[in-house]
Amino acid sequence: MESVANNNNYKFLPNNCKISDLDMRDGMRLRAGYFAARGKAVATVLLVNGHREFLEKYKEFIEDLQRRGFNVWSYDHRGQGGSGRHLDNPKKSHNPDIDAIVLDMHEVVENLVLPEKGDFPLYLVAHSMGAQFALKYLHDHPDIFDRAVLMAPFTNFNIGGPVFTFLTKAYTKLANMLGFSKFFAPGQPRHKDMIDHEYAFKRLTHDKERYDWSQTVLEEKPELFIGGVTIGWLDGVIKSLKSLQAPGFAARIKTPILALLADDEQVVDNKTTIDLLKKMPNAIIKIVKGSRHEIYREVDSIRKGVISDITIFFLEGLAEPDDEKVYQVKLDGKVIGATNFESGDPTNGVVAGHLREYNVELKYDFFIDLINKGVFVNVDHERLKKFINVNARDRFTVHLEDGSQVIGINGIHFVSMDDKHFIVSIVGINFPFYAEEFPRHCSTYIKRLKAKSDNHDY
């Protein structure tokens, strides 16, 4: 694996990265990237991108994973991005042999990922066409990845109904037999100016700024661009999709999978995907409400939930639950009570628990006095008599048994309806600490996702 010297190769990528070339068995060159976790690393992720995509397009998504303790590997598939091309015309998307791409994936795993992963768990994230490759890989290599997340998997075309799909497949087969494999398929863009960006944007994401950012990347690094697909590409994909439906194929995939499907999907066929996933014994299906196809670069309100679900799914189970763990609650450094934090919401980094063994001075009037002095951020204490809800950022602290502090970026909250029962919560605890310290809450969340997936009539 040889490092690429071109400094421009690092533009639009996370700062903490290494970009290199890897030669495949047939001489095809792949561009690969390694993106180390920021802070403590807890696991390794292989990110497999979709059709016509490239490393730079995943900059923000990779950074999200890095911040949560994941070492990330990724690469550009043959025929796209910064990797080599099959044809003299680099704008043609021509990959007639999908199995060759799956073999590439295995070479990346064998030569790059496994030698460097150490004792960390190994996870897989794949999007769209990359998820199709991932399914084939999980079928052929069942013992490599501990868990996998599939975003908007491409398991069938979504191109105008079954009749049009049938005619497309028939035309492709005939044209390929007549020797037109390397020709652009009808209607496919030959260069960037032929792409209808308004149409593409409305099918892919609701976030115009993120969509435009990827186009800026292509303007400054035009070598990453590929145009439309060839007849050979279509023929190869049709054969690959057919193999997914082979009897027993899906049932043999035992790897735990979280499949995130776009609610407003206009690129791939969700029905085929759901039918396929239901045959897998350890697959969880979640429909991402409001999302279009490119779930990973949707608007913030959607992305936040997606990143949380991926993080919790991967980190759930890394630590054994400890229901007996006790946390000390302090006011100005003095212990005033304790809690087990018996409930939690990992999607928002929240834990909550009853305050017990608390100081008798902890009364309603005590809080009101502090609120009036401006010590606390008051949420509500006037509408209901004896109701108190305060947020203390500095005076109150929560500590583990070894004395280290549990910190939430949104502070510590106290809620009480009287002078006898207090609920203390911490809001905004970061991953991976949350998963390591409160594993039972992550496990509960994943079990609920699984139950909802199993019982949902899609």
Q: What is the pLDDT along the chain (458 residues), one digit of tens a residue?
A: 333 334 466 889 998 899 999 999 999 999 999 999 999 999 999 999 999 999 999 999 999 999 999 999 999 999 999 999 999 999 999 999 999 999 999 999 999 999 999 999 999 999 999 999 999 999 999 999 999 999 999 999 988 778 888 888 899 999 999 999 999 999 898 888 889 999 999 999 999 999 999 999 999 999 999 999 999 999 999 999 999 999 999 999 999 999 999 999 999 999 999 999 999 999 999 999 999 999 999 999 999 999 999 999 999 978 777 667 999 998 888 888 899 999 999 999 999 999 887 766 777 777 777 777 776 655 555 555 566 666 766 778 999 989 999 999 988 887 777 666 788 999 999 999 999 999 999 999 999 999 999 988 77
**CA distances to 163, 168, 249 from 246, in Å:** 22, 21, 5
What pTM value is reported for the model?
0.92
Count of beta carbons in the 10 Å neighbourhood of residue 286: 18
298 and 376 housed in the same domain = no
* 331 and 303 belong to one structural domain: no
273 in the same domain as 397: no
Containing structural domain, residue 131: 2-315
Q: Is residue 456 assigned to a domain?
A: no
Query: Phi/psi class of residue 45: alpha, beta or left (left: φ > 0; alpha: ψ in -120 to 50)?
Result: beta
Asked, for residue 222, whether it belongs to a domain, the answer is yes
What Rg do the C-alpha atoms of the chain give, in angstroms? Answer: 25
Longest dimension (CA), the chain: 88
Last residue of a domain, one of 315, 338, 353: 315
**The two structure tokens encoding residue 243:** 């193999």
Clarify whether residues 292 and 395 are in a common domain.
Answer: no
Asked whether residue 210 falls in the same domain as residue 283, the answer is yes
**CA 120 vs CA 40, 42, 45, 70, 309: distances in Å:** 12, 6, 10, 10, 20
Give a yes or no: residue 441 inside a domain: no
Residue 98 sits in the same domain as residue 156: yes
- Alpha-carbon span 130 to 82, nearest angstrom: 16
- Total count of domains within the chain: 2
Nearest to residue 30, comparing CAs of 104, 134, 98? 104
- Same domain? For 250 and 394 the reply is no
CA atoms of 41 and 249, how far apart (whole Å): 34
135 and 255 fall within a common domain: yes
Q: Is residue 447 part of a domain?
A: no
Please check whether residues 374 and 238 belong to one and the same domain.
Answer: no
